[in-house]
Structure 1
Amino acid sequence: MLKYLSTTVSFLFFIFTAMAQEKEVIENNPNYQFQSEKRQETQKTAPVKKVYTYKRSWSFGGNLGLSFWNGGTDILIAPKAYYNVSPKFLTGFGLTYIYSGYKDDFGKYNQNSFGPSIMGAFRPVPYLQLSAEYEGLQTNGNGTVYILGSNNIKNNYSYWNNAIYLGASFVSRNVSFGVRYDVLYDASRSVYSSAWSPVIGFYF
C-alpha cells in the first residue's frame, strides 16, 4: 500500500512539474498567440513616438503708419510677404511707400519715396525676433519757399538712398513691435529723422 501510494505521488509530481514547465515555455514564447492574462498585462506594446515635420509656409503683413503734425502729414505703407523656413528662421520681401508733406506761411513741400526691401529674421525664442533688412528708396520731392516782395524759391530733387536696418522686436502672436537701427544712415538723404526708428509688424 505504501509502495503504491509512493508511486502515485511520484507520478502526480511528475505531471505537475511537466505542466508547470510547459506553461512557462508558453508564457515566454513571443510567437505564442494564446498567452495568459497575467502575461498579456506585462507584454504591452511600447508607444511609438511621432515625429512631426515643420511645414514651410507663407504669411503676409507689414507696417502701416499715419501721423499729423503742425501743418504736416506723414504716411507709411509697407506691405511684406514672409516665408517661414523653420520655426526659428523666416525671410521676406516687400515694398515701401512714404509720403511726407508740409505747408505753412513760409513755404511748402511734398515728398514721395518708393522702393523694395528684403529681410531675414531669427527667433531664438518664440517671443524675440532679431532681424536684418535692406531697403532702397527712390525719393522725389519739390519745395517752395515764400519770400515777400520777391519771387518764390522752388526746389525739385530726386535721389536714391540705401539703408540697412538691424532690429530687435518682441513678438506676441501675430504682432511684433520693437526698434531698428540704420547702419548706413545719412541725415541729408534719409527720409527718417533719426537712425533709430520704431517698427511695428503684422503677420497673417
Structure 2
Amino acid sequence: MNKNQISIVFKPFYVIMVLFFFNYTSAQQNYVIDQSPNFWDKVQFGGGLGLGFGSGYTNISVMPSAIYNVNEIVSLGVGLQFGYLYQKNYYDSFVYGASFLTYVNPIPQIQLSAELEQVRVNTNYEATYYFPAYSDNFWNTALYLGAGYRTGNVTIGARYDVLYNPNTSLYGSGFMPFVRAYF
C-alpha cells in the first residue's frame, strides 16, 4: 500500500475519532456543577450531658454546643459548659467555660471525638476538724479523647482527659461517660 491508499483507508477513521472527541469535550463543557448548600444547612445544635456518681460524689454537666458538618465524616464545633461537682463533707464546686469540638465518624455507627475544654472553677471547701472553710478559684484545661456508639442523632460513649493529673485536675477521674445529641 502506498501513502495515498493508506490515507484513503484511515481518513474516515480520523473523521470519526475527531467527531467523537469533539462531542465528548462538548459534553464536558455543558456539565453543570451543583451549588453547595447554605452554611446553616450544615449546622446542628445540641450538646451533651455528663453524669458521674460515686460514694458521696456527684458530677453533673450540661454542655450545649453547635457543630458544623464539614462532610459526612468530620464535624467541627464550639460548646459551652456548666457543671456542678460535690464531694460529701468536703467541697462543692461550680464550673463554667467553653470548648472546641472535633468529631470523626469513620463509619456511621462510630463517633471518635477530641474536645479541648477551658473552664473556670469556683470551689468552696467545708470546714474540718483540722482546717477552716475556704474557697479556691482557678482555670482548668482538659483535652478529652473519646469514642461512642452513634444511632441517629444520639451518641453514647466515654471520653478520657489525657491531661488528667489527680493532684491538679478538676475531676476525680480522667474517665467520663457521656450522652450527646444533635438536631
Gaps of 5+ in 2: 1-32
Tell me the amino acid that sits aligned with residue 203 of structure 1: Y
Q: Which runs of no fewer than 5 residues in structure 1 stay unpaired? A: 1-50
**Alpha-carbon distance between aligned partners in 2 of 1:122 and 1:102, rounded to the nearest angstrom:** 34
Q: 1:97 aligns with which of 72, 82, 103?
A: 82
Are 2:106 and 1:121 equivalent residues in the alignment?
no
Counterpart in the other structure of 1:184:
163
The corresponding residue for 1:132 is 114
Of stretches 64-73 and 114-123 in structure 1, the one that deviates more from structure 2 is: 64-73
Residue number in structure 1 paired with 2:150: 171
Could you say what secondary structure the match of 1:153 adopts? coil
TM-score (ref. length: structure 2): 0.71
Q: Which residue of 2 aligns with 1:202?
A: 181
1:54 and 1:86 in contact (8 A); partners too: no
Q: For 2:69 and 2:158, locate their aligned partners in 1 and report how far apart those are by CA, in whole Å.
A: 22
Kindly tell me: are residues 74 and 194 of structure 1, through their superposed partners in 2, closer, same or farther at Cα, counting changes over 3 Å?
closer
- Could you tell me how far apart the structure 2 residues matched to 1:198 and 1:166 are? 12
Aligned residue pairs total 149
Q: Which amino acid aligns with 2:135?
A: N
Matches within 5 A, 1:45-56: 55=37, 56=41
Where does residue 28 of structure 2 map in the other structure? none
TM-score, length-normalised on structure 1? 0.64
Residue 153 of structure 1: aligned partner: 132
Select the structure of larger CA radius of gyration.
Answer: 1
- The SS at the match of 2:116 is strand
Higher relative contact order (CA 8 A, sep 6+): 2
Q: What SS does structure 1 have at the residue aligned with 2:126?
A: strand
The alpha-carbon distance between structure 1 residues 192 and 152, as it changes in their structure 2 partners (threshold 3 A), is: closer
Task: Please give the alpha-carbon distance, in whole angstroms, between the structure 1 residues aligned to 2:116 and 2:53.
Answer: 27
Shift of 1:65: 3.9
User: Alpha-carbon deviation of 1:109?
Assistant: 2.2
- C-alpha contact 2:50 2:179 (8 A) present in aligned 1: no
Deviation at 1:67? 5.8
> Which residue is equivalent to 2:3?
none
- Contact 1:112 1:139 survives alignment (8 Å): yes
Q: Secondary structure at the match of 2:164?
A: coil
Alignment of 1:50-89 (within 5 A): 55=37, 56-66=41-51, 73-89=58-74
**Whole-angstrom CA distance in 2 between matches of 1:155 and 1:130:** 40
What residue is the counterpart of 2:5 in the other structure? none
Residue pair 1:54, 1:87 contacting (<8 A) in 2 also = no
Displacement of 1:188 in angstroms is 2.3
2: CA distance, partners of 1:73 / 1:199: 15
CA distance in 2, matches of 1:72, 1:124: 35
Compute the displacement of 1:169 (Å): 1.4
